[in-house]
Amino acid sequence: MYRAVFKVIEPYFFRGPGEFDPSARGVYSSAYSLLAPNPSTTAGALATVFGYVDTSMMDWDEAYSAVLKGARIRGPYLRRGSLYHVENRVDEIFLRLDDVQNYSYLRRGQLDEKEKLEEKVREIMYLGFTPGRLTMVGIGLMTRVDMRKIADEERGLIYTVDFIDYLSGIDAKIGPTDIAIEFDIISENMRSGKYVVRLGGEGRTSLLEILEAKDYICKIPEKTNLLYVLSPILYETGSNFIEQLKNEIEGGEVKVCGKIGLLGAGYSEVRRRRKPIYQALLPGSIIVLEKEVKGFKIYEEGIGIGRQLGFGSVIPIEG
């Protein structure tokens, strides 16, 4: 078992949906960052420290697995000092990891319509962390050529990029070097070490450390019938999402409290084209199962498409 630690050293740009291109958006273009990187972003950064593998004939998720030598990634977790947080993309906030269990119980209670629990949910979210936003304006964006963003300082157009800033709101107890995005890596043989890697868009970098670990970041029960969605769960479009979820988990009837949207898996530099778009159950959603499933099994294996590289990560909740 290993841990991947991306040290935060500057604001980041984790691309949200939509075209960042004058040919699609007009003379003024803008793009905003997601709260946390999608698994394809961090898996791509991890892959750069491994040797070259020809992936030109592989599907996008198979290609990542080949480069990462079958390692399974679980996360992301945002660590600020000694305190871990997890993304809640439904409410646009990071929840404290210690509060995820109570949050999941409350959302399940709302799903059953037994109580009005919004006030208690707000109390938990109040204890969470909302990163700052840093908007930068640039000049020189041109229309894409061969799917690449082209800049021309003399003839280009104005554009803005909305970065996410994990360094905002730090105090004397949390220094700039105490903030990191972390992942559990399930692998028997991975190369440890420290590396400088690109993370996200707009040329941003991070210090990556891969080290051996004895335990997972979150506490995992032996059995569970309640799951917190840690990273987007992906299924093909054009079919019933809940039915696909039910058939895969085999936990009987399934109820979901959260949000299902559309999510692109990113852009392939090798093939010079976008990866497919999927239905996605967003981080912060809650899955309630009729029957119990094994906690370690569902955490380690994940759910849905792209589970090897981190999509479909869930936190099993005790009780």
What are the DSSP calls for the chain, one per residue?
Answer: -EEEEEE--S-B--B-SS--SHHHH-SSEEEEB-SS--HHHHHHHHHTTSPP---TTS-HHHHHHHHTTT-EEEEEEEEETTEEEEEETTTTEEEEGGGHHHHHHHHHHHHTTSS--HHHHHHHHHTSB--EEEEEEEEEEEEEETTEEEE-TTT-EEEEEEEEETTTT--TTS-GGGEEEEEEEE-SS---EEEEEE-SSTT-EEEEEEEE-SS-SS---SEEEEEEE-S-EEE-TTS-HHHHHHHHH--SSEEEES-EEEEE--EETTTTEEPPEEEEEPTT-EEEEEEEEEHHHHHHH-SSBTGGGTTT-EEEPP-
Least confident of 144-153, 238-247, 267-276: 144-153
Mean of the pLDDT values across residues 301-315? 92
- Which of 300, 270, 316 minimizes the C-alpha distance to 66? 270
d(CA 229, CA 70): 22
pLDDT in tens, 120-129: 888 999 999 9
What percentage of residues in the chain have a pLDDT greater than 70?
A: 75
pLDDT in tens, 126-143: 999 999 988 877 655 555
Q: What is the pLDDT of residue 306?
A: 87
- Which of 302, 297, 301, 298 minimizes the C-alpha distance to 313? 302
Q: Which long-range contacts (CB under 8 A, 24 or more apart) does 292-296 make?
A: 292/223, 292/224, 292/225, 292/251, 293/223, 293/224, 293/225, 293/249, 293/250, 293/251, 294/222, 294/223, 295/220, 295/221, 295/222, 295/223, 295/224, 296/220, 296/222
d(CA 289, CA 250): 9
Q: What is the pLDDT of residue 24?
A: 47
Which amino acid type is present at position 158?
I
Highest mean pLDDT among 67-71, 114-118, 192-196: 192-196
- Which of 80, 93, 82, 91 minimizes the C-alpha distance to 36? 93
Higher pLDDT, 40 or 32: 40
Mean of the pLDDT values across residues 143-167? 64
| Environment class of 242 (CB within 10 Å of its CB; exposed 0-12, middle 13-18, buried 19+) | middle
pLDDT at 183 over 60: yes
Q: What's the distance, CA 182 to chain centroid? A: 11
Query: Are 17 and 262 within 8 A, CB to CB?
Result: yes
Here the tokens at position 205 are: 């970098």
